[in-house]
Structures are given as structure tokens and as C-alpha cells.
């Protein structure tokens, strides 16, 4: 089930979590993606560094598309990658950097485009190039939520996503600092848990992350109702 860019952006703003799958084997990647999709993560990103990434995107799009899970392709560095991801069923294109040609390809094909940037100059350039959301990456190493809060002072009109690593206990800090969403990967699919195939525990962490967002949403709705 395909959505328009506007609908996809609305979904990111509502869900506020993109679950990132970056594993060394296709088996582990599929198990992690299943753990996300069945435990409340509605946007699942398969990075193209994952073996057989396009086949996996196609399989997951077929498995979960009707259940309202949107597939994203991560680490997209060329228009060829973007085209292959689109053919596989990805509706969101995520890059670690800003490539104008990738952004143009995404917008022409009604795909949501998330471009990576670090400095204020890069963030503004990515936005002006036409991406829908700027992934501030790597957020933690740039200064975390305080960095976001500081650059949100002069740059208020650009939707920013906190690029990983983002720990579970920092989700709210990033959202409070002004991010519209966060990337969660290693804090859900903790390497030790993947190695020991503890898919249920990864699912539990995904459920916890989703519940943090739901609690915030419920609180905001209750607050607006009171006012």
C-alpha cells in the first residue's frame, strides 16, 4: 500500500521512531525487522549495508505492508540505490549525507527523503536541496540534545531527526530539544542480544520505545483537552 510523501511525512511526525536494521547476516536482519514490526515500530529502515537488503525490503514490504508498516531504505548513496529500493517497496529514502540527485529522485517518485547533515550550513543546504527531513548525524557525537536545542534557535523551520546512536533513555530528550523523530538501531537490536538471538528481548525494547511515544502523545492530547 503506497502513501504520498505528505502522508509519509505525517507518519514520521506521528510515529517519531524509525527502527533501523543494520546487521551482518540476512537472517539476523530479518529477525530484528520482525521484532520491530510486531512490537509497535511502524517505520522500519533496512540499511543497504545489510546483505541482500533489496530482497529483504521486498519480503518485509509484502509481509507487513497491509499491517501499516512502512519500509525505509537506509545508507542510500546513489540514485541507482534509490531506484532499486523503490522497486523493492521502500517508500522512504534515508542517506547518511546530502546528495542532491538522490533528493531529486525521491521527490520525483513521491518518496519521503531523509538526508544526513551535521553542521548548520549542511542542515540548511540539505533542506534547501528539497529533502523532507534532515537527519542530524551522528547526533550523539555532535553534542546530543543540547546541540539540537542550540541550532534549533536560528534554524526553526527545518524538521530534524536525531541520527543514531540514540539510547532509549534519550528519546524524550531529543524530542524535547526539537527533533521530530529519532533513529533507533543499536539501542533496540543490542549487538549482544542479536548474537545470542534474543529476538523477544529486542521486541520488548521496541515495545518500550513505542510506548514512550504513545505516553507522550496521550499526555499531549490530554493537555490540549484540558486547555
- What is the three-state SS of 100-134? HHHHHHHHHCCCEEEEEECCHHHHHHHHHCCCCEE
For the question of residue 172 being annotated catalytic, the response is: no
Choosing from 23, 30, 45, 59, the catalytic residue is: 45
For the chain, the straight-line distance linking the first and the last C-alpha, in angstroms and rounded, comes to 37
Please say if 135 is a catalytic residue: yes
Options 135, 146, 172, 201, the catalytic residue: 135
- For every residue of 58-102, DSSP letters joined together read HHHHHHHGGGTPEEEEES--SHHHHHHHHHHT--EEE-SS--HHH
Q: How far is the CA of 200 from the CAs of 3, 31, 176, 192, 209, in angstroms?
A: 30, 10, 29, 13, 14
Would you name the residues annotated as active-site residues?
45, 135
Amino acid at each position: 500500500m503506497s502513501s504520498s510523501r505528505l502522508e509519509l511525512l505525517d507518519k514520521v511526525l506521528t510515529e517519531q521512531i524509525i527502527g533501523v536494521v543494520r546487521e551482518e547476516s540476512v537472517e539476523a536482519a530479518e529477525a530484528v525487522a520482525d521484532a520491530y514490526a510486531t512490537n509497535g515500530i511502524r517505520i522500519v529502515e533496512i540499511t543497504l549495508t545489510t546483505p541482500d537488503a533489496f530482497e529483504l525490503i521486498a519480503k518485509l514490504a509484502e509481509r507487513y505492508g497491509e499491517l501499516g508498516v512502512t519500509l525505509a531504505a537506509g545508507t542510500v548513496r546513489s540514485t541507482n540505490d534509490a531506484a532499486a529500493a523503490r522497486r523493492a517497496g521502500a517508500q522512504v529514502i534515508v542517506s547518511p549525507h546530502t546528495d542532491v540527485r538522490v533528493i531529486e529522485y525521491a521527490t520525483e517518485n513521491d518518496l519521503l527523503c531523509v538526508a544526513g547533515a551535521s553542521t548548520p550550513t549542511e542542515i540548511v543546504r540539505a533542506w534547501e536541496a528539497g529533502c523532507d527531513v534532515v537527519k542530524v548525524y551522528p547526533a550523539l557525537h555532535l553534542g546530543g540534545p543540547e546541540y539540537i536545542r542550540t541550532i534549533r534557535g536560528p534554524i526553526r523551520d527545518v524538521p530534524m531527526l536525531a541520527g543514531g546512536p540514540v539510547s532509549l533513555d534519550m528519546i524524550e530528550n531529543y524530542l524535547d530539544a526539537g527533533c521530530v523523530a529519532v533513529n533507533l538501531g543499536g539501542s533496540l537490536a543490542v549487538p549482544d542480544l542479536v548474537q545470542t538471538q534474543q529476538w523477544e528481548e529486542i521486541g520488548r525494547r521496541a515495545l518500550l520505545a513505542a510506548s514512550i511515544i504513545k505516553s507522550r502523545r496521550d499526555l499531549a492530547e490530554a493537555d490540549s483537552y484540558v486547555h
